[in-house]
Copies of this chain bind each other. A is one copy, B any other.
Amino acid sequence: MPTLAEVAEKAGVSIATVSKVLSNTPYFTEETRRKVMSAVEELGYLPNLAARALSSGKTHLIGVVFPYVYEGIFTDPLVQYILEGVEAECNERGYNILLSTPRLNPDGPDENYRRLLRSSYLDGIVALDNVPLSSVLSPDLRKNTPAVAIGYGDHPNYVRSDDLQGSTALMEHVISLGHRRIGILTVDESLHYSIQMRHVGLDQVAEEAGLNYAHLPKYDRGDFSIASGMQGASALLEQYDDLTALVCINDRMALGAIQQVQKMGLKVPDDITIVGYDDILSAQLFSPALTTIDQRAPELGHRAAQMLFALLNNENPDSVVIPTQLRVRESSAPPKVSRQ
C-alpha cells in the first residue's frame, strides 16, 4: 500500500502538505491540491487507519456491546433493533461499528472485553446494560470512553424503554377486562433490571386493584424461551386450575404458554387470557394474535447513538425514557362467567 511519503514524492511536495490537502486544513493553492490529488489518484493511496488512529487518538470506531446473557442472543429482537438503529447513525457519520458480546462471569465480563474497553481503543460505546450481576459498563470500565447505556445501570447517560409504564399498561388491560385470578410467567428477576421494573409495574397495578401481588401464582424459573413458557403454563395450571389469565414477561414465553394451554384443551382467549411483552414478529402472526407491549426498540438504538455522538461533540444530552405502546390483539378477553 502506498504511503503519504510516496504521494508526497510523486506530487513534489512534503508529506505535511499532502496531509493538509487531504484533511482540508487551510493554506495550500489550487495548483498544489491538483498535484496532490492526481498523485493520490495515480497511486491509489488510502490512509493507513492504524497509523491515523495512533497519531490522532481517534479510531472512528464505536463499540456496540451486548452481554452474552443467553444462547442465541443475536436472535433477540431487542438486540436486532438496537443494532439497526446504531448502525444507521454510525453509517451516516462515517463511523464503523465494533461489535462485542462479552461473556459474563460472576466477577464481571470477560478479560478480553475489559481490556478492550479500558484500552480506550473505541471512540465511544453503546451498551445494553441490564444485568445487575455484572455490568458491562461499570465506572471502572467506561472511565476512558464516552458511553451510553441502554438500560437501568447507574450511568450518567442512558436510554431506557419505560418498562414501568409498559407493564402498568399491560396489567391494567388485563385487570380492566375483569380478571382477578392471574398467573405470572417470568424469569429470575436478578437476571435483568428491566424485568425487575416490569414486576414493579405489575405489582403496583395489582395492589391498586386490591390483589396481593406477592400471593399471585407465579412461575419464575423461565429463561425467556418458548419451551420455558410451555413449562411455566403447565406448572401453574396444574396447581391453580382456576386461573383466567396468564401475564408473561416476554412474548416467546407467552407463545409457549398459549401452545401449552391449547394442548391442555383450553381456548385462548375464551377460556384463558394470555398476554406477553415485546411485540416480536410472531406475536402478530400467531393465532390467536398476541396482546403485548411494543417497546419500540428501533427507537432505542437510534436515540442511544444520537446521544453518543452528542457526547463526542462535547454536548450535554439529556437521558431519555421511551414510552411503550400497548397492542391489544386476540389473545386477551374478559373471563368467562362460568370460570369467573
Residues of A within 8 A of B (CB): 1, 44, 46-51, 53-54, 59, 61, 64, 72-75, 77, 80-81, 83-84, 87, 91, 94, 96-101, 103, 112, 115-116, 118-121, 144, 226, 255, 259, 281-282, 285-287
Determine the distance from Cα of A96 to Cα of B62 in the docked complex, in whole angstroms: 12
Q: Which of B83, B97, B101 contacts A91 (CB 8 A)?
A: B101
Q: Which of B53, B87, B120 contacts A53 (CB 8 A)?
A: B53
Which residue of A44, A59, A83, A144 has the most chain B CB atoms within 10 A of its CB atom?
A: A83
Interchain nearest-CB distance for A98 vs B (Å): 6
Asked if A54 contacts B48 (CB within 8 A), the reply is: yes
The oligomer's copy count stands at 2
Determine the distance from Cα of A44 to Cα of B144 in the docked complex, in whole angstroms: 13
Asked if B73 contacts A121 (CB within 8 A), the reply is: no
- In the bound complex, residues from chain B placing their C-beta under 8 Å from that of A59 are 50
Q: Which of B48, B80, B91, B98 contacts A96 (CB 8 A)?
A: B98
Asked if B94 contacts A97 (CB within 8 A), the reply is: no
Nearest B residue to A56, CB-CB = B50
- In the bound complex, residues from chain B placing their C-beta under 8 Å from that of A61 are 98
Asked if A97 contacts B96 (CB within 8 A), the reply is: no
- In the bound complex, residues from chain B placing their C-beta under 8 Å from that of A121 are 48-50
- In the bound complex, residues from chain B placing their C-beta under 8 Å from that of A115 are 46
Which residue of A50, A84, A282, A287 has the most chain B CB atoms within 10 A of its CB atom?
A: A50
Q: Which of B98, B103, B112, B226 contacts A94 (CB 8 A)?
A: B112
